[in-house]
Amino acid sequence: MKQRIGSRVIPHRHSRERGNPAFSSLAIHDFSEKSGLMSAMASKSARKENPLHAARPCLEDMPYRALVFKELNHHQKPLYWVAGSDADPSGAEKALKEAHRVHGGNCFYCKKPVVHEELTIDHAEPIKVGGRDEIQNLLIACKPCNRRKDHKPIEAFNPDAGHEWLSALLKQVQDRLNRLQSF
């Protein structure tokens, strides 16, 4: 049996899925407006942005794209499924760690594969200087790079990584602005 979510057809797995549309490896972050909640939040009359568009990673490679927005919790914080995992939905940092566990990934700074024991989740914009615990601000980093970066902004630590991250963030902002203009 298959179900249609947005423009994607996703194989339905009754066992282990537990209602998780991300369980299929085909379900990646842009699946969408199936739920009434999402449709209501995205309605033109409300003139509000769909949280799906705001609460997605700005990076498009694995494991970032394995994060699938599910809903906002009672504190209005996004919860994410992880494609290929049967874990319950979780907040951004925990979901990114789970995505790395399932799909692996490289350090955003040195580009080397990160083994589980060396995994850290870094804030591109450090919390100390106003960065937030949002998915767009979280990056996979190996322990040595994260220690060297310390509390520096990403572009001060590694200009190439800073350019890559800022470019991805800018693209996401431009996409979101284009969606809002269509209202």
So what's the pLDDT on residue 2?
43
pLDDT range class, residue 29, cuts 50, 70, 90: very low
What is the percentage of the chain residues whose pLDDT exceeds 90?
A: 61
In a domain, 175, yes or no: no
For residues 14 and 48, state if they share a domain: yes
Whether the CB-CB separation of 46 and 56 falls below 8 Å is answered with: no
**How do residues 87-130 score in pLDDT, each as one tens digit?**
999 999 999 999 999 999 999 999 999 999 999 999 999 999 99
Residues 76 and 149 in one domain: no
What is the domain-level CATH number for residue 129? 1.10.30.50
CA atoms within 13 A of residue 46's CA, in its CB half-sphere: 11
Provide the residue range defining the domain that includes 147: 105-161
Summarize pLDDT for 122-171 with one digit per residue, the tens.
999 999 999 999 999 999 999 999 999 999 999 999 999 999 999 999 99
For residue 1, pLDDT over 50 is answered with: no
Q: What is the pLDDT of residues 50-101, one digit of tens each?
A: 555 567 788 888 999 999 999 999 999 999 999 999 999 999 999 999 999 9
Cα distance between residue 33 and residue 42, in whole Å = 8
pLDDT at 180 over 90: no
**Contact indicator for 99, 63 with CB cutoff of 8 Å:** yes
Whether residues 67 and 127 fall in one domain = no
Cβ–Cβ < 8 Å for 91, 77: yes
Distance CA 63, CA 92 (A): 12
Last residue in a domain, options 103, 132, 153: 103
Distance CA 106, CA 142 (A): 8
Q: Look at residues 110, 178, 104 and name the one whose alpha carbon lies nearest to residue 148.
A: 110
Residue 15, token pair as written in the block? 């066992």
- Residues 83 and 113 reside in one and the same domain: no
pLDDT for 59: 86
In a domain, 3, yes or no: yes
pLDDT at residue number 52:
59
User: What's the total number of domains in the chain?
Assistant: 2
pTM: 0.71
DSSP 160-183: HHHHHHHHHHHHHHHHHHHHHHT-
Q: Would you call the peptide bond into 63 cis, given omega within 30 degrees of 0 as the criterion?
A: yes
Instruction: Using the structure block, give the residue that is written with the tokens 């998780």.
Output: 20
Backbone angles phi, psi at 36, to 5 degrees: -60, -35
